[in-house]
Amino acid sequence: FALQNEIREALLFNQFKLYYQPQVDRTGRITGAEALIRWLHPERGMISPMDFIPIAEESGLILPLGNWILDAACQQLIHWKQNPLTAALTLSINVSARQFQQPDFVTQVLAAVTRTGANPHQLTLELTESILATNQQDIITKMDALKSHGIKFSLDDFGTGYSSLSYLKRLPINELKIDKSFVNDILTDPNDAAIARMVIRLAQSMELNVIAEGVETQRQRDWLEQEGCLHYQGYYFGKPVGAEEFLR
């Protein structure tokens, strides 16, 4: 309960900040970023989302927090618009299952877009396979509604959770994200290599974009390129950083 109250206060006192991790294409050019939230606590320093997102989800605070994230991300797109170097970047934001399951989720996302004037075509929502456990028609209806405004969807941590391949085919998804747990050992673990290869082939045959996360070395990147994965995210290209450092 203590942490719950602190999250509430942190929202009130503006202690959250979005960090941005670059996403690059095969030429190394930055095409976009993933927004990753940080809590800049006045006494405890920087707190990882792994330590507060689960509590925010349990307590329902993920709803106001999720709206704050949507707003902050859209505002960042507006900032980027003012600089030719960043004007065309896309921004991926993580959406919790609980947030997505709200009846007014579509309304909330579109409200943030309208309020800020952000271009919805530059916005990607990262969903995890955990959302797939709920009512299929409800998910498809929501995704279609947002898609009709130009918003895209990426399936995060792909391969780590619950997913039926036949179901995947019915969802209006644009991108699969190869989980970093597979990328980590692609060069040494034949099983991880096989899974990564399978995700790439699946994306290719379903005409989906595929991006590998957690790329830490040139050799991992080269292996992925050779297998046909042409978009990457990971420490090798850049860690998540504040907006000022991201611009630099």
Contact set with ligand G (CB under 6 A): 21, 35-37, 48-50, 53, 69, 94, 96, 156-157, 180, 213-216, 234-235, 240
Instruction: For residue 25, give both structure tokens.
Output: 């294409």
Supply 90's token pair.
């896309």
Q: Closer to ligand G at the Cβ: 94 or 122?
A: 94
User: Helices (DSSP H) in the chain: which residue ranges?
Assistant: 2-12, 49-59, 62-81, 97-100, 105-116, 136-147, 165-170, 180-183, 190-205, 218-227, 243-247
Q: What is the distance between the alpha carbons of residues 103 and 93, in angstroms, rounded to a whole number?
A: 19
**10 vs 211, which CB is nearer to Na ion?**
211
Q: What backbone phi and psi angles, to 5 degrees, belong to 196?
A: -60, -45
| Binding piece for Mn ion, criterion CB under 5 A, among 23-31, 74-82, 83-91, 125-133 | 125-133
The amino acid that residue 229 corresponds to is C
**Between 155 and 194, how does the x/- string for binding to Mn ion read (CB under 5 A)?**
-x--------------------------------------
Q: Which residue is nearest to Na ion (CB)?
A: 157
Nearest-approach distance from CB 180 to Na ion, in angstroms: 6
Is position 126 an interface residue for Mn ion (rule: CB under 5 A)? Answer: yes
Q: How far is the CB of 125 from Na ion (least distance, A)?
A: 14
Minimum gap (Å) between residue 35 Cβ and Mn ion? 9
* Residue 156 vs 175, nearer CB to Na ion: 156
Contact (CB, 8 A) for 225 and 242: no
- Our CB check for ligand G shows the closer of 141 and 217 to be 217
229 binds, among ligand G, Mn ion, Na ion, none (CB under 5 to 8 A by kind): none
> Residue 175 or 213: which CB sits closer to ligand G?
213
The nearer residue to Mn ion, 4 or 208, going by C-beta atoms, is 208
Residue 117 CB-half CA count within 13 A: 5
Name the nearest CA neighbour of 177 among 151, 135, 208, 147: 208
Report phi then psi at 46, rounded to 5.
Answer: -80, 125
What are the residues binding Mn ion (CB under 5 A)?
A: 94, 126, 156
